[in-house]
Amino acid sequence: MQLNSESYREPRDVPSGSVLVVGDGASGRDIAAELCLTNNVLLATGKKRRLLPERILGVSAWWWLRVFGLLRAPSDSLVGKVMRRADAFPNRSRADSDLRRLGISIVPRLVEAQERVARFADGTQAEIDAIVWNVGYRDDAAWLDIAAAKDNAGRLLQEEGVSPVPGFFHVGRPWQRNRASALVMGAGDDAAWVVSYIRNNFSRARPSGG
């Protein structure tokens, strides 16, 4: 059986036996921790992860990030570039050591799979009964038939939410303006900025009496 982070809902979705969770971002780690109550779980990791403490001095890490202005650091600023490279997310007892204590086997990157045998970057292998893929998402803008709105690779073009196509705007894009852009706590500010831009740049173009 093969599932992904969208089709997986609960441990009952997965047959008994060994399950390989591929991808150790926030979703992968959460799913592995949930499945270890019913299955033998292996978590295939990728790049080195940086996890923030969930709480600092008893207060949410998100509160500290907001207070020190880190969530609003522009994407092209020094702080913004460092945060983008780090790509950290709150720990919530999901560090490698926490997962190992739950009985989860941390294995290197998955490099090959044939039938029920999975092989990893260090040469080891394991026989598995199910896989849950958590390898992230990528844009699929094929539905948008506006060539000028995309680059040669088909990625959406925008700068602070403004497309090169007149009258076309974005909200909620990752790092659209800062770290908070793709979060609920930041989408409202970005939407307000886009609305202000539209008012300032398009109000005079409105037909009289419109």
Share of the chain above pLDDT 70, in %: 93
Q: How confident is the model at residue 203 (pLDDT cuts 50, 70, 90)?
A: low
Render pLDDT for 120-156 as a digit per residue (tens, 0 to 9): 999 999 999 999 999 887 888 999 999 999 999 899 9
Question: What's the whole-number average pLDDT of the chain?
Answer: 88
pLDDT score, position 209: 52
- CA 76 to chain centroid: 19
Q: Which of 31-35, 48-52, 92-96 has the lowest mean pLDDT?
A: 48-52
Rounded distance, CA 92 to CA 107, Å?
A: 21
Output the DSSP codes for 83-96.
HHHH--EE-SS-SH
The pTM score is 0.73
Render pLDDT for 65-118 as a digit per residue (tens, 0 to 9): 787 877 888 878 887 787 777 676 676 778 888 999 999 999 999 999 999 999
Residue keyed to tokens 């740049």 = 201
The structural domains of the chain, with segments of one domain joined by +, span 2-50+90-133, 149-203
Q: Cα angle vertex 93, ends 88, 98, to 5°?
A: 110
Give the side-chain half-sphere CA count within 13 A for 100.
5
The CATH code for residues 2-50+90-133 is: 3.50.50.60
